[in-house]
């Protein structure tokens, strides 16, 4: 760690030249992405463009073939030279991911689901982890569900627990992969509301979503990924109302007018 790394004006995350191949399929082709502390970045792009692969790479679940990921103040991880498990673990410790499906443990209560990571993995004393979990559940309006099992909750409530579980890990970076796409339409709003509140509280987040109204409201920056490269990025206003790239325009047209 150098003195530069303590500079709060430096990005929390700098990913450069991220390339990932699955066999002959080059899924990410030199992605460069910076995220400032407290910034909310919404990542959009067609199916198969590499959004999930990029998030998984940032979280150490996928190992890029080339490129560098730096989450300050940790040292950069350079994938070109090959990395070991310890580098992946170090990366994983810096972010928490919320998936499309929440993957709650069905046999555990809501509270047990939330404290599992802090207690088992991070060795936080149980009483402390539970107090924190209850506070977080309260914040997302689920205080009274602490002793419920996942099957007793609606899909939206389950996904809010999934978010609390990620928050409880107290990581610097939150990664959301289409957090509302598995929900019934009437449940989408309550989950987006929680994510918007986190944005307002200053969490640093990268969110893959096709909820453009939400992106407009919550995102500081929108990044459009297509064919494994970032084609265009800018404020929601820039990207949604005057995109400069034809590919961005076509993609947005398809989302906004799917039946045309």
- Counting Cα atoms < 13 Å in the Cβ hemisphere of 161 gives 32
Start-end of H helices in the chain = 51-58, 85-92, 110-116, 126-139, 155-168, 185-200, 212-218, 236-241, 246-256
How large is the angle between the packed helices 126-139 and 155-168, nearest 10 degrees? Answer: 130
Asked whether position 157 contacts Mg ion by CB under 5 A, the answer is no
Asked whether position 53 contacts ligand ATP by CB under 6 A, the answer is yes
We find the least distance from the C-beta atom of residue 152 to Mg ion, in angstroms, to be 29
Helices first, then strands: H and E counts in the chain: 9, 10
Asked whether position 49 contacts ligand ATP by CB under 6 A, the answer is yes
CA distance 32 to 161: 32
Asked whether position 27 contacts ligand ATP by CB under 6 A, the answer is yes
Spell 110-132 as b/e; 16+ CB within 10 A means b. bbbbbbbbbbeeeebeeeebbeb
We find the least distance from the C-beta atom of residue 43 to Mg ion, in angstroms, to be 10
Asked whether position 52 contacts ligand ATP by CB under 6 A, the answer is yes
Query: Which of ligand ATP, Mg ion, none does residue 48 bind to, with CB < 5 to 8 Å depending on kind?
Result: ligand ATP
Closer residue to ligand ATP in complex, CB, 49/248:
49
Q: How many CB atoms lie under 10 A from the CB of residue 39?
A: 19
Scanning 4-12, 44-52, 69-77, 103-111 for contacts with ligand ATP by CB under 6 A, the matching segment is 44-52
Query: Which of ligand ATP, Mg ion, none does residue 95 bind to, with CB < 5 to 8 Å depending on kind?
Result: none
The torsion angle over the Cα atoms of residues 253, 232, 30 and 79, rounded to 10 degrees, is -100
Query: Which of ligand ATP, Mg ion, none does residue 50 bind to, with CB < 5 to 8 Å depending on kind?
Result: ligand ATP
The values of phi and psi at residue 159, to 5°, are -70, -30
Asked whether the beta carbons of 15 and 9 are under 8 A apart, the reply is no
Asked whether position 59 contacts Mg ion by CB under 5 A, the answer is no
CA distance 181 to 155: 11
* Binding residue (CB under 5 A) for Mg ion from 19, 52, 57, 132: 52
Q: Which of residues 221-260 bind ligand ATP (CB under 6 A)?
A: none
User: What tokens appear for 175 in the block?
Assistant: 């990664």
Scanning 24-32, 44-52, 72-80, 155-163 for contacts with Mg ion by CB under 5 A, the matching segment is 44-52
Asked whether position 57 contacts Mg ion by CB under 5 A, the answer is no
Asked whether position 51 contacts ligand ATP by CB under 6 A, the answer is yes
Asked whether position 179 contacts ligand ATP by CB under 6 A, the answer is no
Query: Which of Mg ion, ligand ATP, none does residue 22 bind to, with CB < 5 to 8 Å depending on kind?
Result: ligand ATP
Residues that bind ligand ATP (CB under 6 A): 22, 25, 27, 45, 47-53
Given the rule CB under 5 A, which residues bind Mg ion?
Answer: 51-52
């Amino acid at each position: 760690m150098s003195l530069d790394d303590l500079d709060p004006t430096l990005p929390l995350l700098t990913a450069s030249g991220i390339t990932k191949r699955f066999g002959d399929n080059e899924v990410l082709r030199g992605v460069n992405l910076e995220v400032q502390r407290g910034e909310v970045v919404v990542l959009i792009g067609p199916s198969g463009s590499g959004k999930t692969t990029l998030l998984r790479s940032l979280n150490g679940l996928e190992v890029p073939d080339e490129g560098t990921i730096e989450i300050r103040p940790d040292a950069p991880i350079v994938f070109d030279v090959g990395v070991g498990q310890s580098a992946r673990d170090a990366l994983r410790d810096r972010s928490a991911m919320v998936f499309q499906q929440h993957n709650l443990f069905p046999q555990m209560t809501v509270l047990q689901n939330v404290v599992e990571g802090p207690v088992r993995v991070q060795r936080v004393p149980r009483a402390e982890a539970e107090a924190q979990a209850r506070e977080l559940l309260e914040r997302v309006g689920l205080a009274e569900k602490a002793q419920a099992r996942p099957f007793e909750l609606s899909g939206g409530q389950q996904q809010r627990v999934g978010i609390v579980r990620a928050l409880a890990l107290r990581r610097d970076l939150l990664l959301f992969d289409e957090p509302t796409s598995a929900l019934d339409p009437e449940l989408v709003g309550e989950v987006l509301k929680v994510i918007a509140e986190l944005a307002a509280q200053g969490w640093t987040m990268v969110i893959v979503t096709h909820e453009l109204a939400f992106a407009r409201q919550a995102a500081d920056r929108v990044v459009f990924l297509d064919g494994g490269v970032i084609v265009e990025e800018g404020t929601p206003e820039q990207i949604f109302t005057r995109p400069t790239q034809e590919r961005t325009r076509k993609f947005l047209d398809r989302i906004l007018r799917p039946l045309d």
